[in-house]
Structure 1
Amino acid sequence: MGFLPLGRRGRGIRQIGEGLGTLDREVFEAIAGSPSPLLDTVMPRLTRAADHSKLWFAIAAGLTAFGNPSMRRGAARGVATLAVTSIVTNQGAKRIWKRERPNRSFVPLARQARRHPTSNSLPSGHSASAAAFAVGVGLESPPVGLGLTLLAGLVGMSRVATGAHYPGDVLAGFGIGAGIAVLGARIVPPIVETQLPASEPLRVDTPPRPEGKGLTLVINSASGSGTGAWVADEVREALPLAEIVELGEGDDVKAVMRSAAERAEVLGVGGGDGTVAAAAAIAVDTGVPLAVFPAGTFNHFAKDIGCDAAARTIRAVREGSVSCVDLVCLNDEQVVVNTASIGAYPLFVQTREKLEHKIGKPLAGVYAMFHTLRRGVPVRIEYDNKTLQTSLFFLGNSVYLPTGFAPSRRTRMDDGLLDVRILETGKRFSRLRILAALALGRLTRSPLYHELRVPEFTFRSPDGPTVLALDGEVGMELDQARFSVRYRALPVFRPVA
């Protein structure tokens, strides 16, 4: 079979285009001319709500105010995608494809839009914005995105029903909006929370203590800018039979805690994460469960076990709700409950947390990374038969979320794993490459980013001892560190999940 001559092929393409155009007009006339009180009532209101993207901005505000983290990320992504799509559609596509608006005479007067647009009909800007927002949100929160996709489809239908666009214009708009959202996900990938196989929590049979009998709480009343004193008062009122030991300025904290643990059935601790780590080691040594009351500055451990308020710990003690969590052991001596780090990681966290409530976590993370890489002193380490230079090294007890170099929370604390994350800064233009990857949301794909989830991890500092920070506090200088998981070693009071 020979090829058709060029002229005949051109005529064939034109005929196909003319046929599709005729079909598009016939479908428009069938929809627009359909007598329906429901269309007359709903479609004009829906298309007006979508004017200037008011509908999508209102939904984004609701998701930001009342949604979970994935919904808030989806709202931000949806609005950003909508903004780009609006520019591409109105300033680009509408000027390239010239098509007149449909004849409104087919549309009942009750259904016609109050103001008839004068711009080119192809593509539909309302439809493009609707698809951009719905797909953008769905990339971060699929269940919400599904509902918004259905709403976006109704908005597209409203543009046909009110006589503003042909069906082909709507389909073209959907394609542009969805395409830009998918392209945006390639540039800034959505956060996908890691799902690890998980076993049931290990519960420990413990008698309820409605009045706190057998609990000895060791607390620094001055900790957390006075939070310790409030916690002590709350425990006195709610658990009147509990013994409360308030630490003095010159007390040996570990000695006081060990004495309390040896005479108590439950060791309670109120303080920061460093104090909690010391109490955890003593609780394991003496074989008593630990009750953690948040009385420090950040209380990361207390928050991750569900005891972000003293009232939640009190309820767990009253109900006898105890389950086991992992601990990390450093060189078979030091206990770590949250994190260990070398280099400038503590500076990175402090800078990010200071700014994230003002400018948002993504921008705060980029600035904190720039600030840290510029000021941090790199350290050479050896591990797994490789040597690299790093300014940011993080090791966590159990797997943290999200992936990347902004770990912030744990959904499980009994997975038997260490979460190790390293940024390599010794290669050419490494700082610039890291900042660019972070800004584009592609840090986890960078060859300069290393992430491991292992039960044991050992590193050595070939250039001499390096400072190791443990649970947010400067720990010690070591030239070699071996971390190992003590799987479900610590029974701790926490609310039932």
Structure 2
Amino acid sequence: MADREQRLTWRGTAAQWDRRLFDAVARRHWPAAERVLPALGRAADHGVLWGGIAAALTALGPARTRKAALRAAASLALASATVNTVGKWSVRRPRPLLDGVPVVRRPAVPPWTTSFPSGHSASAFAFAAGLALESPAWGAVVAPVAVSVAFSRIYTGVHYPSDVAAGALLGVAAGLTVRELARGARRARAVPGDERPAAGVPALPDGAGLTVVVNTGAGTAGDAVLGVLRDRLPAAEVVECGGEELEAELAAAAARSQVLGVCGGDGTVNAAATAALRAGVPLAVFPGGTLNHFALDFGLTGPEDTCRAITEGQAVRVSVGRFTPTDTPAATPAGTPEGDGGGEGGGEGGYFLNTFSFGVYPQLLRHRLRWAPRIGGGPAALAAAWRVLRAERPVRLTLAGRPRSAWLLFAGNGTYHGSGPTPRRRDGLGEGLLDLRLVHGGGRPGPRLLAAALAGPLTRSPAHTAVRLRRLRIEDIPPGTPFAYDGEYAKAPPALVLDVLPDALPVYRPR
């Protein structure tokens, strides 16, 4: 009883100090601030101010600045989604009374949501923290703007000081979280996985019998890979190409070589895996894209690893995901590359080494590919995310005979670790199972996806379903629905089957 009384006394004292600080700000008169701070708060509504800054930095800055802007935008999105799904509805605090706030400062349309925490403050500090953690100089430039936006929420009478402080802490936490996620996604697997050794693959001490197709449009690592190849495997044939020629060159190289090599990102590796499977030859992967999800999950850190495995004849067998149309009255146009490779297309079916998805991600990829040639990749990604999170609707499908409405259907080739609708990495590629994650339709996509991430891999979560299976039939796909696989984009047929080919592809990797 005494403890309860102490807690109530403490809360009452904290509330009194909160109100006193609020009233002190309301009584202060700063002539310049009465125009600047309310206008700054309005500019930050719905993240418009931060989106404009991110777009400008992405369009005009060097590579590191563009990366910092994208990291800041991701931090803002995480903070905003957390506030709107958890914060606002877990602490239902009323807005402050505006008796002491001058009319000229008050918002024309009072906010209708609860007061704790401040969403503007969370977004402002998340953006500034995400930017500063990647580019301290730009973070120092933006930080005063973030502080001013946060203070404007008290100055205009829409938040208590504690609301703003909590929002600021949440925003900084979002920036740190995004940084850790990015760091984790970039680390190659350091221990062997569950892949079986591939018997009978040739050892090529000088590279004779190996043809490496280098995608000239992928990433920035092509020159470094070529230098290593000339030094370690001087007898290997190297073919440099890109664009529409890529698939034909891969098929021709696989047909005439003992081993097919490829240098590019995940889309390029997907196309090479398809060519190697059809020709029945082993695959050698030289990571050369922007993200290199397959190479990192496979344990390849660079071209030296692949060269050592080729010279010593060391390889393992990996499982391959497959999508097969079951009702194809007409062929669907071929897949569109995500900047670094060609795709199979939904009408003919194809393979995926990493992931397959319907819903939010394919729509985001579709918009980004459409806008990137006009405004650049970074601004296109931001604009696509804004469009998808505001305007898209869940896709309706029939999964294993049951109608479903989904914001996202994610299928991974092998078990991905980590909670959420799109977990980040695998410890092995020989499992032979599909890791299926379904974010159920309902509400808005941003809050729903965050709720699914917080729910974790729970098979009975109201927001998120996670199961492991070998085969999934998907039917009643609406005409024109896009899907994505290994960073490629295509239009879906009316129905298809997802399954896994266990131990289907030998890939070189040192022991």
Q: TM-score, normalised by structure 1?
A: 0.51
Q: Residues 235 and 398 from structure 1, CA distance in 2 versus in 1: closer, same or farther, beyond 3 angstroms?
A: same
- Retained in 1: the 8 A contact 2:233–2:307? yes
- Residue 227 of structure 2 corresponds to 233
- Pair 433,343 (structure 1): closer, same or farther in 2 beyond 3 Å: closer
Asked whether the 8 Å contact 1:306–1:312 carries over to 2, the reply is no
Distance 1:438 1:254, change over 3 A: closer
CA change 1:465–1:403 in 2 (3 A) is same
Q: 1:254 to 1:377 in 2, by over 3 A?
A: same
CA distance change for structure 1 residues 431 and 467 in 2, over 3 Å: closer, same or farther?
closer
Give the aligned partner of residue 189 of structure 1: none
SS of equivalent to 2:408: strand
- Relative to 1, partners in 2 of residues 1:347 and 1:443: Cα closer, same or farther, differing over 3 Å? farther
Tell me by how many angstroms 1:443 deviates: 6.9
- Paired residues for 1:257-296 under 5 Å: 257-296=250-289
User: Does the CA-based 8 Å contact 1:343-1:390 persist in structure 2?
Assistant: yes
Task: Measure the CA separation in 1 of the matches of 2:276 and 2:450.
Answer: 45
Q: Tell me the SS of whatever aligns to 1:317.
A: helix
- For residues 289 and 476 of structure 2, the distance between their equivalents in structure 1, rounded to whole angstroms, comes to 32
1:212-361 alignment runs, 5 A limit: 212-224=207-219, 226-247=220-241, 252-331=245-324, 333-345=349-361
Work out the number of aligned pairs and report it.
280
Matches within 5 A, 1:28-39: none
For residue 437 of structure 1, report the CA deviation from its aligned partner: 3.6
Shift of 1:329: 1.6
In structure 1, C-alpha distance between the alignment counterparts of 2:457 and 2:280, rounded to whole Å: 43
Q: Distance in 1 between matches of 2:360 and 2:270?
A: 22
Shift in Å, 1:207: 3.8
Per-residue CA deviation, residues 49-79 of structure 1 (Å, 9 max, x unaligned), is xxxxxxxxxxxxxxxxxxxxxxxxxxxxxxx
**Structure 1 residues 484 and 200: alpha-carbon distance in aligned structure 2, compared to 1, 3 A threshold:** closer
Q: How far apart are the structure 2 equivalents of 1:442 and 1:231?
A: 39
- Structure 2 Cα separation of the partners of residues 439 and 343 of structure 1: 16
Q: Secondary structure at the match of 1:345?
A: helix
Counterpart-to-counterpart distance in 2, 1:318 and 1:229: 21
Name the residue aligned to 2:484.
469
* Structure 2 CA distance for partners of 1:369 and 1:394, relative to 1, 3 Å: farther
Distance 1:442 1:374, change over 3 A: farther
Where 1:252 maps in the other structure, the secondary structure is helix
Corresponding position of 2:198: 203
Q: Cα distance, 1:199 vs. partner? A: 6.1
Identity of aligned residues (%): 38
1:38-57 to 2 correspondences below 5 Å: none
Uncovered stretches (5+) of structure 1, i.e. residues with no partner: 1-197, 351-367
Aligned 8 A contact 1:221 1:229 in 2: no
Shift of residue 272 of structure 1? 1.7
Which residue of 2 is the match for residue 413 of structure 1?
429
Contact kept in structure 1, 2:215 and 2:246, CA below 8 Å: no
The alignment status of 1:422 with 2:438, answered yes or no, reads yes
Shift of residue 290 of structure 1?
A: 0.2
* Mapped partners of 2:257, 2:499: distance in 1: 29
Alpha carbons of 1:200 and 1:381: their partners in 2 closer, same or farther (altered >3 Å)?
A: closer
Pairing partner for 1:434 from 442, 448, 453: 448
The answer to whether the 8 Å contact 1:345/1:393 transfers is no
- Give 3-state SS (helix, strand or coil) of 1:208's partner: coil
Change (3 A) 1:317 1:406: same
Residue 346 of structure 1 and its aligned partner are, at CA, apart by 5.0
- After superposition, the Cα gap between the structure-2 partners of 1:307 and 1:451, relative to the gap in structure 1 and judged at 3 Å, is same
8 Å CA contact retained: 2:321, 2:352: yes
* Unpaired stretches in structure 2, ≥5 consecutive residues: 1-192, 326-348, 367-383
Alpha-carbon deviations, 1:96-140, whole Å to 9, x = none? xxxxxxxxxxxxxxxxxxxxxxxxxxxxxxxxxxxxxxxxxxxxx
Q: Deviations over 1:188-209 (max 9, x none)?
A: xxxxxxxxxx966243233432
Q: Is the 8 A contact 1:269 1:279 kept in 2?
A: yes
8 Å contact kept, 1:345–1:391: no
Q: Determine the structure 1 residue equivalent to 2:474.
A: 459
1:482 Cα deviation after fit:
1.0
1:447 partnered with 2:462: yes
Tell me the secondary structure at the aligned position of residue 492 of structure 2: strand
Give the AA of the match of 2:239: V
Q: Which has the higher contact order (CA 8 A, sep 6+)?
A: 2
Change in Cα spacing, 1:390 to 1:446, as seen in structure 2 (3 Å) is same
Q: Within 2, Cα distance between the matches of 1:435 and 1:485?
A: 26
The SS at the match of 2:224 is: helix
Larger Rg: 1
